[in-house]
Structure 1
């Protein structure tokens, strides 16, 4: 495992890109797993094809679409969803105070990214607009629900495809174009196994100053349905559909603003995780072996290397990103790490050579 040591955060010893494995259930349970897989997969495929090819294009209300999405969530055995909101007592989620602390139209959802189920759950609850972020730009690309789920199973990208560069826009433009919907941003830009929060893209900084940003963390039990290793479609489908039940733990933090006068300081309780993880990881000797800086287009929002972006942030902008990242780490009961998209790309090269 020495060749994978560079993909373990130096300060926290967390390896966010390694797949999560569950203990084998034994041969006695294999017929049960095979039966569940054989029954669930056809049903899940039928609902998915019906939704993505027919229903999403029909002029029907959101209730019908959400009903099909909930069926897609329930078919694999996701029967229990534990939702908790900061400063809202259990059992009072239906109150007006609780609803005011949930994402709504005209707000930003800054979500963790660990599985295709993240986008599916957020669509079933909030019916939002999904976006794709990239490490070196404050602009985002609007994507569909299907594309958002697909990205969780695809290799990470430092920059968008050439054909998509013209589609990059600031979040303020998407909010103005779709005032009746919330907007989902996944600022980590690639999936993890849920055991750490990666450095953020600066895309959240294109949010208008008075717009609420809600950090939302999703965790799964068992954790083997996360997809830190891309392109393992069949393995993920087997882990999802062959087990009797899965649980989702959803945590929503208080809103944050892209405004230093409205955003409170980063909680002191989580500052240790940031100093031990990010500062130590910044000194990794393998940083010089990564991809060269990439530039596309002109202006301040061009795609550049992550180190250059971080140096270009003002203290107030860094404070906003730190607050959202610390909230996600606190909600997930994990720590922030210094490994990002560049390290994930290098990890996939080593992981692929091992499998070959």
Structure 2
């Protein structure tokens, strides 16, 4: 992978865009193929039934508890039922002793700032918290509200380092929280997926959260790690790795909530260069020190939870990597 060395972070040497692979023997590949062929029709059939029909039914017909059970069934088909959940700074076995406000959804006005590595991220968050999903962009504090299916497919979509959609499709975290005070809002501030080995610079979208909101950094890591999708469009490879393994482990780490106590309260839509870099301007003014410290604090929390480091590579770097990767594959 030396030919992709220009896409390593200069400070840490991390390559966050190279797909993870798991060595396998000939016998394990045969088992892999058998499981894949057995599970594929069940997974595709159930997914189509859920997203084309069940997902559009009103909550009166499908209560939240039923919806979560249906989503856990979808997770169970590929063998995702082993979840190692921990709260940051809390010893194992003492989760029940923690106040309920340590969990997103139990605290009022909860916002999840989630690490972004795989289509399973959104599916797991939906099965646990049933949040409102959003898309963040590098040029604005505003976000776009999307469905669960769109959030899943976003993990396999190419990065968008350019301007966001029209203002008519955009809103703010403040507006979403005020309109849905009892719902969790999920944000992927990195804006595009990695292989889980580094935290990308953030979008400024988290700065539009109200001061009384509780922002929970949430890290999700997978074993094996080959179901991460840093390269867009790898649908077949993702399904092969997802359905061919006997089981998958998700390590979920939740940090203590952070409040947006930054002094600036603008919710503008002024384009930036590559969201998250210090010194960028919004509405003709530079991010305040408090705003930058908030983004840094959440990014550092995610890096600590995931046991990796922050990197300086941006969405433009990822777009360049994808171009070089595709040329190399050809």
- TM-score greater than 0.5 by the shorter chain: yes
Shift of residue 308, structure 1, vs aligned partner: 8.4
User: CA–CA distance in 2 between the matches of 1:310 and 1:217?
Assistant: 26
User: CA–CA distance in 1 between the matches of 2:125 and 2:28?
Assistant: 32
Q: Deviations over 1:312-354 (max 9, x none)?
A: 2110000000000000000000011000111101111111111
Task: Report how many aligned residue pairs link the two structures.
Answer: 316
Change (3 A) 1:90 1:98: farther
Give 2:86's match in structure 1, choosing from 78, 84, 101: 84
Q: Deviations over 1:162-210 (max 9, x none)?
A: 4x54211111011112222010000000000000001100000000111
Shift of residue 4, structure 1, vs aligned partner: 1.5
2:115 aligned with 1:112: yes
| Aligned partners of 1:47 and 1:68 also within 8 Å | no
Shift of residue 251, structure 1, vs aligned partner: 0.1
Mean Cα displacement is larger for which, 204-213 or 86-95? 86-95
Change (3 A) 1:102 1:155: same
User: CA–CA distance in 2 between the matches of 1:64 and 1:227?
Assistant: 29
Give 2:290's match in structure 1, choosing from 300, 316, 326: 316
User: CA–CA distance in 2 between the matches of 1:47 and 1:98?
Assistant: 37
Q: What's the counterpart of residue 320 of structure 2?
A: 346
Where does structure 1 differ by over 3 angstroms across 4 or more consecutive aligned residues? Answer: 159-162
Shift of residue 51, structure 1, vs aligned partner: 1.3
| Aligned partners of 2:115 and 2:190 also within 8 Å | yes
2:251 aligned with 1:249: yes
User: CA–CA distance in 1 between the matches of 2:279 and 2:302?
Assistant: 21
Secondary structure of 2:134's aligned partner: strand
2:71 aligned with 1:49: no
Give 1:329's match in structure 2, choosing from 293, 303, 307: 303
Secondary structure of 1:169's aligned partner: coil
| Aligned partners of 2:140 and 2:164 also within 8 Å | no
Secondary structure of 2:280's aligned partner: helix
Give 1:302's match in structure 2, choosing from 270, 274, 284: 270
Shift of residue 252, structure 1, vs aligned partner: 0.1
Shift of residue 117, structure 1, vs aligned partner: 0.3
Shift of residue 160, structure 1, vs aligned partner: 5.6
Alpha-carbon RMSD across the aligned residues, in angstroms, is 1.8
Q: Which runs of 5+ in 1 are unaligned?
A: 262-298
| Aligned partners of 1:136 and 1:309 also within 8 Å | no
User: CA–CA distance in 1 between the matches of 2:278 and 2:218?
Assistant: 27
Mean Cα displacement is larger for which, 247-256 or 150-159? 150-159
2:17 aligned with 1:8: no
- Give runs of aligned pairs for residues 111-190 of structure 1, distance below 5 A: 111-159=114-162, 162=165, 164-190=166-192
Secondary structure of 1:147's aligned partner: helix
Q: Which runs of 5+ in 2 are unaligned?
A: none
